[in-house]
Amino acid sequence: MKTVYSPLHAGHAGTMELMSGAIVPGFEKPSRAEIVRSRVESEKLGPILAPELHDLSAAKRVHKADYIDFLPTVYPEWEALGRSGSAMPYTWPTRGLRGDVVPDTIDARLGYYSFDAGAPFVKGTWEAIKSSYDVVLTGAKLVKSGEPAAFALCRPPGHHAGAGFMGGYCYINNAAVAAQWFLDQGARRVAILDVDYHHGNGTQEIFYSRADVQVLNLHGDPMVEYPYFLGHADERGEGPGEGFNVNYPLPFGTSWEAWNAALDDACVKLSAYGPDVVVVSLGVDTFEKDPISQFKLKSSDYPKIGARIARLNLPTLFVMEGGYAVDEIGVNAVGVLTGFEGR
Ligand code: SS9
Ligand code: ZN
């Protein structure tokens, strides 16, 4: 299959994050995408294409316009105040504070448009976000044009970003953008299968009251795992979306047998839904050696994931999400893709 990749992701570098009370280098770093790209080459998965450039209208189909317009302004405003380093929020409009007024100052706007401090900005961050968006739309177009599958090698990832907020390394929800784009191009129904270790809270929020996008999520139980405040099994969608959101929270230590049982159940529900196209939020942070995750999948399990998805027999867009065991991220992510292709 074809891969879409942009080198502009690499400008989103040198970020840091708060972990267990310490400031540490960001786990979501440029080498992740570079190692996946070189594995695509060494495995001869197929050609690697540069993205076509897009305006932001497709982003505004799933995100609030004011949020999307805010993103390119962050770092210029930060620098105008004489600051450098990472632009990050430290105050949020949680319960008991007003969430209906957008403040003027950059520190407050960062908090207004986020749910955590996990989506920092450096000088090249907006260009990376935009390139990731261009990558996913270019991948979607390949699938729409008749390719059985394509791989959008997105970085930064997207599934934690909601309609009006960033967080968890995510800014624009690339998978949601692609799903909506397929609908706008004439698809009747789209399924999003999120196999990243973390619950795709942004994707769930965006489509929660809709019947035209089925969202299925396998992830660490939010009672004990990030993003904590969404992802329980009783979240099934609301209104017209009732029944079209499916969560599989799984315990720490989950290995292939239990994880695969959940995947199979999700695939059965997906097939019953009868979508025209599948968008896979492809995180490989389910890996046993992932530094921030608690599942126990092995490298030999990833081709089996791809093979199960192939059995859906539907046009499929793979969208890169998480995976932080950098040494193995290429083997694992591309393992899913070669497994999908039956090799
Ligand atoms: C503290 C842990 C927060 C956020 C993980 C986001 C994963 C995106 N630094 N971890 S796939
Ligand atoms: Zn993740």
pLDDT in tens, 145-185: 999 999 999 999 999 999 999 999 999 999 999 999 999 99
Mean pLDDT of 243-271: 99
User: What's the average model confidence in pLDDT over 57-75?
Assistant: 98
Work out which ligand 1 atom sits closest to the CA atom of 118: 4
Instruction: Identify the band that residue 312 occupies on the pLDDT scale cut at 50, 70 and 90.
Output: very high
Residues 217-241: what's their mean pLDDT? 98
Instruction: Give me the numbers of helices (H) and strands (E) for the chain, helices first please.
Output: 10, 10
Q: Which two tokens stand for residue 145?
A: 């044009």
So what's the pLDDT on residue 134? 99
> What residues contact residue 61 under an 8 Å CB cut-off, 6+ apart?
177, 180, 181, 184
Average pLDDT of the residues in 322-341 = 98
321 lines ligand 1 (CB under 6 A): yes
> What is the rounded radius of gyration, in angstroms, for the C-alpha atoms of the chain?
18
Residue carrying the six token digits 């570098």 = 13
- pLDDT of the residue at 301: 99
pLDDT band at 288 (very low <50, low <70, confident <90, very high): very high
Nearest residue (by CA) to ligand 1, atom 11, is 322
Query: Taking the CB of residue 77, how many other CB atoms lie within 10 A of it?
Result: 17
> How far apart, in whole angstroms, are the C-alpha atoms of residue 61 and residue 139?
18
State pLDDT tens for residues 100-155: 999 999 999 999 999 999 999 999 999 999 999 999 999 999 999 999 999 999 99
CA 105 to centroid of ligand 2, rounded, Å = 30
Query: How much is the average pLDDT of 303-307?
Result: 98
The length of the chain in residues reads: 343
Alpha-carbon distance 331 to 133, whole Å?
24
- Ligand 1 pocket test, pick from 169, 196, 282 with the greatest ligand atom count within 8 Å of Cβ, gives 169
Q: Name which residue sits closest to atom 9 of ligand 1, judged by CA.
A: 19
Find out whether the beta carbon of 322 lies less than 6 Å from any atom of ligand 1: yes
| Strand, helix or coil for residue 60 | helix
pLDDT at residue number 120: 98
- At residue 75 the predicted structure's pLDDT band, cuts being 50, 70 and 90, is very high
For the Cβ of 16 lying below 6 angstroms from any atom of ligand 1, the answer is: no
Burial class of residue 67, CB neighbours in 10 A (0-12, 13-18, 19+) = buried
DSSP designation for 87: B
Q: 211 falls in which pLDDT band (50, 70, 90)?
A: very high
Among candidate residues 269, 294, 54, 272, the one with its CA nearest the CA of residue 181: 54
Verify cis geometry, omega within 30 degrees of 0, for the bond prior to 156.
yes
CB of residue 323 inside a 6 A radius of ligand 1: no
Known catalytic residues are 160
